[in-house]
Amino acid sequence: MKAALEPSRPDSADQRLAVLRRAQLETALRGIQGEKRFGLYVLVTPRQDPAPRLAAAQALAARQGWTVALRTFDVTGPSDPATRPQLARLLAAARRQEIHGILTASRVDISDDNREYAAMLDQIRALGGGLALAREETVL
């Protein structure tokens, strides 16, 4: 019964993914001389205004001194990241080295499913980029 009264703690898998994401982002940005370019991306549900979520991501870019090269969003609600056209657009920009990473408001813009999220981290890393979040993984 005591466990039910304790505040919930982030899942250890979430913590491992957070560490992995931060390390990948650091690696992607380490060798960049000059401007660091990012694509802003958020996922919204139908009739949800993307502006507040994009503003949260933009604020992180401003604090870090990163250049925002693209701003986009998908209106699908929770779905497999592989089926989102605007996310695919940013991945293509990373492949062409037009951006160094993707910046989202929170992890849920990619996926709240650990396997999908880890797969997207792998894909972004393979492109030489990183993923930045305005809110840590444990703050969904």
Residue 56: other Cβ atoms inside 10 A: 18
What CATH number has the domain bearing residue 112?
A: 3.40.50.1390
pLDDT at 139: 55
Mean pLDDT of 51-55: 96
End-to-end CA distance of the chain: 26
**Model pLDDT for residues 77-133, shown as the tens digit of each residue:** 667 787 899 999 999 999 999 999 999 999 999 998 999 999 999 999 999 999 999
Classify residue 11: in a domain, yes or no: no
Classify residue 16: in a domain, yes or no: no
Which residue range(s) make up the domain with 50?
37-140
Classify residue 5: in a domain, yes or no: no
Sole residue written with tokens 């001389």: 33
How many structural domains are present in the chain?
1
- Average predicted confidence (pLDDT) for the chain: 89
Classify residue 2: in a domain, yes or no: no
38's tokens: 């990012």
Classify residue 65: in a domain, yes or no: yes
pLDDT at 56 over 80: yes
